[in-house]
Structure 1
Amino acid sequence: MELRILRYFLAVSQEKNITKAAEKLLVSQPTLSKQLSDFEKELGTKLFVRGHRQITLTSQGAYLRSKAEEIVSLADKTALNIQTNQVISGDLTIGAGESIGMKRIIDLMGNINQDYPDVKIHLISGTADEMETMLNNGSTDFAVFMGERNLNDYNYLQLPETDRWGVIMRKDSSLADKTAISPTDLLEKPLLISSQEISRSRFKNWWGNLGSQMNIIGTFTLVFNAEFLVENGTAYMLSFDNLINRTNQTELTFRPLDPPMIEPITIVWKKNTVLSKVDQLFIKRLQASLHNND
């Protein structure tokens, strides 16, 4: 399975037309068609359904597209990161969820880009499980975990910042007059909870034997969209502090949980791997920023 053929395959899947893809790739249409046919024979399966006006992917083709994008991206990033000793360039890719701790990380990434304009920075958002998978398969250089997690397989640095759990609600909510929210305050309230945290039973100890009485109406992965359900009065949302969208600040407010729930923030990278110069620079600057906090 050659990178060149994967690039051909991706171009056709994007253009949905072999002629247009051939023009984009600067190859002839017959050559591209033969390469794809040979590729299908090599894999022993059909990747495309060839229609009159456009082609579409089979289920096998759709699966290959997702994997091909990862493979080609990793190959391109690796090529960019191979530079001379005098030049720092390439990609710096960090995957993380939403957290106030990301401000330190983003500031560092921005400073590196300013000092070394050939460095391209990439932020990927998702759950900790998604970010760990991407870190392990090489799609990201670093992952930022919020909360306790098994770190035996990684090198890591813990940030001084922490995340505090609480409830995002409308300012005119009946709970907004409270300074902190207890489990009994949430009884019968419609709740939105992170899909990752509900799968990990993160709040099991916090609400104790009241868990079965909680009215969980839905889950979310990222806070931004879920806040609209809070803004229109549909739900209360369990989330970290400092994540209220600035455009919603006039409508929404945050109250911490009581008893409090505080999460550590840790940046991790794979053990026993050769780091690019960009990655080494990032770690060096992160360590310096942590030292300055001492």
Structure 2
Amino acid sequence: MELRVLNYFLATAQELNMTRAAEKLLVSQPALSRQIADLEDELGVKLFIRKPRQLTLTPAGQYLQEQAKEILTLSEKTKRNLQSTAIISGDLTIAAGESIAMQRIVNVMSNIVQDYPTVKLHILSGDYQFAEKRLNTGTVDFAVIIGNLPLNGYASMQLPEKDTWGVLVASDDPLAKKEHITPNDIVNRQIINSQQAETYGIFDNWFGNYKEQVNIIGTYNLSYNGTLLVKNHAAIMLTLDKLANTSAESGLVFIPLKPAIYQPLNIIWKKETTLSPVAQLFLDRLKASIMDDVKFD
């Protein structure tokens, strides 16, 4: 598969009309149709269901659309990084969940941009599966992983920060007056949980004998939308500290769990992979940042 043909395919998949896609690509409609037909022959699958004036992606076409985006992103990123080997330039891309550790990460990234203005920064937010997928495809340089998750096959470095689990409630909720939340406190309450925490059963032991009485009504991926449910008194929220605005005006209160649950934080990258100059600089400066904290502790 040529990159040029993948670009043709993506434009066609976006427009779902051969004529409009050809106009967008500045090629003739017959030439585009021939390129798509040749691609289908090469792959041995049909990518589109052809109807008058309208195309529909087949399941194979939907899969190729997702993969083609990853391939072309990686190709463009590689090209920029190769063209910038003489100086520190290119793209630095990090996938991460929401965490207090991102302040350290962002501080290091900000310092790099100040010293090397041609560097372009990209932060992609998502859970472990999101970050791992993009790391494996090579479209990000690093992933920040929250929790005791499998890191086999990756180079990794543990960050000194730790996240603290707790419950986010509306400020007028009776729980808001408590210093800590125990499993008994949330029995029969409507609760939304982190999707990652739910998948990996982070609270199973903490719930203990109350597990069957805990009412998890749903999950969230990133925390902001979950806080809206809390503000509407629709649910309370199991979340990490310092992710939500809990100022006096916010209407929200965070209370830590008891017994406490802490989450370790690691930054990971692919083993036996030569990092780009800007990625290596980031890693070196991140290590130095951690060492500086150790010295002054």
TM range (shorter): over 0.9
CA distance in 1, matches of 2:31, 2:150: 50
CA distance 1:111–1:56, change in 2 (3 Å)? farther
**What is the CA RMSD across the aligned residues, in angstroms?**
1.7
Cα drift, residue 123 of structure 1: 1.2
Question: For the Cα contact (< 8 Å) 2:148–2:263, is it kept in 1?
Answer: yes
Question: For the Cα contact (< 8 Å) 2:161–2:265, is it kept in 1?
Answer: yes
Question: For the Cα contact (< 8 Å) 1:91–1:122, is it kept in 2?
Answer: yes
Gaps of 5+ in 2: none
Write the mapping of 1:58-207 to structure 2, written as runs, cut at 5 A. Answer: 58-207=58-207
CA distance 1:2–1:194, change in 2 (3 Å)? same
CA distance in 2, matches of 1:192, 1:85: 47
Does the residue aligned with 1:152 lie in a helix, a strand or coil?
coil
CA distance in 1, matches of 2:112, 2:267: 17
CA distance in 2, matches of 1:114, 1:23: 41
What letter corresponds to residue 228 of structure 1 in structure 2? L
Question: For the Cα contact (< 8 Å) 1:223–1:243, is it kept in 2?
Answer: yes
TM-score by length of structure 1 reads 0.94
User: Could you tell me the percent identity over the aligned residues?
Assistant: 51
- 1:182-241: per-residue Cα shift (whole Å, max 9, x none)? 111111111111122112111111121111111111111111111111110010100000
What letter corresponds to residue 291 of structure 2 in structure 1? H
CA distance in 1, matches of 2:48, 2:182: 55
1:235 aligns with 2:235: yes
Cα drift, residue 15 of structure 1: 2.4
CA distance in 2, matches of 1:22, 1:249: 53
Paired residues, number? 294
Residue equivalent to 2:32? 32
Does the residue aligned with 1:169 lie in a helix, a strand or coil?
strand
- 1:18-63: per-residue Cα shift (whole Å, max 9, x none)? 2332233232222111111111122222212334333232222111
Does the residue aligned with 1:176 lie in a helix, a strand or coil?
helix
CA distance in 2, matches of 1:18, 1:247: 53
Cα drift, residue 246 of structure 1: 7.0
Question: For the Cα contact (< 8 Å) 1:224–1:245, is it kept in 2?
Answer: no
Question: For the Cα contact (< 8 Å) 1:50–1:56, is it kept in 2?
Answer: yes
CA distance 1:161–1:68, change in 2 (3 Å)? same
Question: For the Cα contact (< 8 Å) 1:22–1:32, is it kept in 2?
Answer: yes
Deviates more, 1:88-97 or 1:253-262: 88-97
Gaps of 5+ in 1: none
Question: For the Cα contact (< 8 Å) 1:231–1:248, is it kept in 2?
Answer: no
Residue equivalent to 1:256? 256
CA distance in 2, matches of 1:25, 1:87: 34
CA distance 1:21–1:145, change in 2 (3 Å)? same
Deviates more, 1:280-289 or 1:27-36: 27-36
